[in-house]
A and B are shown apart, each in its own frame.
Chain A
């Protein structure tokens, strides 16, 4: 029969495959030292392993920590967004950050699209004020509303992209740091 401690550590090593070898070896060596010390204190190894839980589940804590701290340190929007999207179904912070980023990107996209349409059709595209609402985009009958921006829509669309980029990046940095601390 195989040694339960060695079997658990082998399973942990296998479950940590996503980590670089030196880090994986270091973690396994540290947990081995912990278990050895518990054994020397007279505690049963079975009890110590039960308290650590399944090796696969235990490994997840390290993998999550690596992914989140890596994304937070790099501050690359792609890495941060990817980390957020993968957790959106089980974290309110990740879901909120994802929806905020989508809303910001959507608003910037709409502003740019309207500005592009305005180049070819200046009479129907812009920011409009109707009787009770504001509307950005293309309108069928310009006589029913007042266009507010004119050619200012071009610099303002560029500004909207820059603002969405900065705000979105800020939201992602905050969310990844928060998740790293609470996951």
Chain B
């Protein structure tokens, strides 16, 4: 197994998980791109590449699961584009969470079957 194979597999796995983690993060409240990236890396442990988050945010907004708004946090600050979850986004989060729980429960049972 080469390093490239491993990175490719991890990247594919991350794409699926990043969407779920992102929806869950936005359920806490509005966030901007860089903040989302840092929090997903730090809190969710996802080793996301630097630019991964923006095409994903763009897709979720196009799918109407999120919406965005440019905001100035304070006088003199630079504007940031904040994302929030929409009602369809919350429904999608609920559905993806249910799927994730079902898959992870079964997979954990399977992987642990030979342990005492």
Residues of A within 8 A of B (CB): 23, 26-27, 29-31, 33-34, 36-38, 48, 51-53, 58, 61-62, 64-66, 68-70, 72-73, 180-182
- For the complex, count residues of B whose C-beta is within 8 A of A: 21
Chain A residues, CB < 8 A from B51: 31, 51-53, 58, 61
A181 touches B78 (CB 8 A): no
Q: In the bound complex, how far is the Cα of B54 from the Cα of A73, in angstroms?
A: 20
Residues of B within 8 A of A (CB): 12, 15-16, 19, 32-34, 49-51, 54-55, 58-59, 62-63, 70, 78-81
A51 touches B49 (CB 8 A): yes
Chain B residues, CB < 8 A from A73: 62-63
B62 touches A70 (CB 8 A): yes
- From known contacts A51-B51, A58-B51, A182-B12, infer whether A30 and B59 are also in contact, taking CB-CB under 8 Å: no
A33 touches B55 (CB 8 A): no
- Chain B residue at minimal CB-CB distance from A69: B62
Q: In the bound complex, how far is the Cα of B70 from the Cα of A27, in angstroms?
A: 12
Q: In the bound complex, how far is the Cα of B78 from the Cα of A62, in angstroms?
A: 24
Closest approach, in angstroms, between the C-beta of B38 and any C-beta of chain A? 10
Chain A residues, CB < 8 A from B32: 33
> Contact check: which of A30, A180, A181 meets B81 at CB < 8 Å?
A30
- From known contacts A58-B51, A182-B12, infer whether A33 and B78 are also in contact, taking CB-CB under 8 Å: yes
